[in-house]
Amino acid sequence: MDPVTTTLGAAGLALSAAASYLSPAAWKPLSIRQLGARCRSQRVLVLTYDDGPGPAVTTALLDLLREFDAPATFFVSGERVPLHRDVATKLVRQGHEVGCHGYHHLHAWKNWPGPLRDDFARGCAAAVTCGASDPISFRPPFGKLVFPTWLYSRHRGTRLAWWTHDSGDSFAELPARSPALDLLDEGGGVALLHDLDRSAPRNEFVLETTRALLEGAREKGLRVVRFRDLFEARDDASP
């Protein structure tokens, strides 16, 4: 085989491997569009929180959610669970969903499949210790997913959990108004927020945005549900 053919063959294999490794990135926009359509058809608001639990913010959120009698979904970082076990287990006891956000919050595009698989498995195990039940929802850290992790999550029966509207609480500069509030006028969606303890302004932004979303949902007639509730059949004819 001549050198040119060998080089082209190697390049083709590399491109094929890269495509299969990064292919979930191509599916993500379609998945998010489908998720938004599902929310709008059911007229629901789904509040989701990543990176916690944080003892101060998560506890304050639980009080706020109880005030509105509203459920939410918390995608916990596994390494934080043993640090704040009392707060983590309270999530499920109060009727909220606990999902997996990995254990060490690894960036999927910057790590090899083996460590990613192990981090995913440990993250799911940590969620289970909080009282989570299968099927556990999985939100990829940084919103990045690669084929090996997707395949492993499928094998486990884990549901991927994207979002439709970012609250902006992790932007370099906090917005004057959260972009997530747009979902109220659009008829529903999944809001992304974070419940790890950070600076006072960011903590307050999360709480204020949550309250505004809950008040807006009440005014617009949107139901507030957990992420997994989106995929459970509803029998509207039942008494």
Residue 13 inside a domain? The answer is no
User: How sure is the predictor about 162, in pLDDT bands with cuts at 50, 70 and 90?
Assistant: very high
| Predicted pLDDT at 18 | 52
Distance CA 5, CA 11 (A): 10
Provide the token pair at 62: 């639980």
Residue 25 inside a domain? The answer is yes
| Predicted pLDDT at 22 | 58
Among residues 114, 112, 147, 107, the alpha carbon closest in space to that of 23 is found at 147
| Predicted pLDDT at 236 | 42
What does the DSSP assignment read for 54-71?
-HHHHHHHHHHHHHHT--
Residue 236 inside a domain? The answer is no
Residue 12 inside a domain? The answer is no
Distance CA 28, CA 148 (A): 15
| Predicted pLDDT at 234 | 53
Residue 10 inside a domain? The answer is no
Do residues 31 and 162 lie in contact, with contact meaning Cβ atoms separated by under 8 Å?
A: yes
| Predicted pLDDT at 13 | 42
Contacts of 19-24 with C-beta under 8 Å, sequence gap 24+, read 20/147, 21/146, 21/147, 21/148, 22/109, 22/146, 22/147, 23/147, 24/145, 24/146, 24/147, 24/150
Distance CA 136, CA 128 (A): 8
Q: How far is CA 66 from CA 53, 132, 154, in A?
A: 17, 19, 33
Q: How far is CA 30 from CA 35, 36, 55, 163, 179, in A?
A: 9, 10, 35, 12, 20
Domain with residue 75: its CATH number is 3.20.20.370
The pLDDT of 27-43, averaged and rounded, is: 94
More confident position, 186 or 157: 186
Distance CA 94, CA 64 (A): 12
Residue 4 inside a domain? The answer is no
| Predicted pLDDT at 19 | 52
Residue 9 inside a domain? The answer is no
16 pLDDT higher than 90: no
pLDDT digits (tens, 9 = 90+) for 201-228: 999 999 999 999 999 999 999 999 999 9
96 pLDDT higher than 70: yes
User: How sure is the predictor about 169, in pLDDT bands with cuts at 50, 70 and 90?
Assistant: very high
DSSP state at residue 84: G
| Predicted pLDDT at 176 | 96
The pLDDT of 58-81, averaged and rounded, is: 97
How far, rounded to the nearest angstrom, does the alpha carbon of residue 32 sit from its chain's CA centroid?
Answer: 12
Give the number of other Cβ atoms within 10 Å of residue 21's Cβ.
16
| Predicted pLDDT at 88 | 94
Percent of the chain past pLDDT 70, that is, above it, reads: 87
Q: Quickly tell me which residue has 């063959």 as its tokens.
A: 9
| Burial annotation 63-92 (CB, 10 A radius, 16+ → b, else e) | ebbeebebbbbbbbbbebbeebeebbbbbb
Residue 85 inside a domain? The answer is yes
The pLDDT of 109-131, averaged and rounded, is: 88
For residue 213, the enclosing domain spans 20-230
More confident position, 10 or 66: 66
Question: Total structural domains in the chain?
Answer: 1
